[in-house]
Amino acid sequence: MAVGASTQPEADREILVSRTIEGPRTLVFDAFADVAHLAKWWAVPSGSRITTRTFDFRPGGVWDSTIHVPGGAEYPNYLVWKEIAPPERIVWMYHGMGKDDPNPVKTILTLAERGAVTEATLRLVFSSKEERDEKFAKYHAAAGARQALDALAAHVGKER
């Protein structure tokens, strides 16, 4: 079995969050593909800002940044892009504590065009059910995913 692989079914290790976004799927996708877009909406909670050190949007590429929240706290934000299928799907591994984080979260974004709106679904897959439950309780992972999609929707609304 591969390092980090789990014998637990993915459904027992995941958090699933969806949101309808007013805007075309290509614009929603571009809000992920362009670091200038990401800097305008990715940093949650509100009032936060993000500093990017590296951004290489391709499979195997990295986005290495820091989120600066009001009050002075800083949080590493290290992603490795795994799959990019414009404009419908992006998969990345989120290493919340930096590139050496032993429990990265596999995140799958799917974008479905529904006329003039886009259905955005985030699926976070943790290394274990216990890891999911801890992140759900301690770090409010589901609420954070919802906040991210809300911020994305607000950004897309401004860009239309």
Q: What is the mean pLDDT of residues 7-21?
A: 85
- Residue spans of alpha helices (H) in 42-91: none
Q: What is the mean pLDDT of residues 90-110?
A: 89
Evaluate whether 98 touches 78 at the Cβ level (below 8 Å). Answer: yes
CATH code, 50: 3.30.530.20
Give the gyration radius of the chain's Cα atoms: 15
Q: Give backbone dihedrals phi and psi of 124, rounded to 5 degrees, phi first.
A: -100, 120
Spacing of C-alpha 14 from chain mean position: 14
Percent pLDDT > 70 in the chain is: 90
| Counted domains in the chain | 1
Query: What is residue 47's three-state secondary structure?
Result: coil
Q: pLDDT tens-digit profile of 19-61? A: 999 999 999 999 999 999 998 898 767 788 899 999 999 999 9
Strands 89-95 and 62-68: unpaired
Which residue range forms the structural domain that includes residue 114?
Answer: 14-159
69 located within any domain? yes
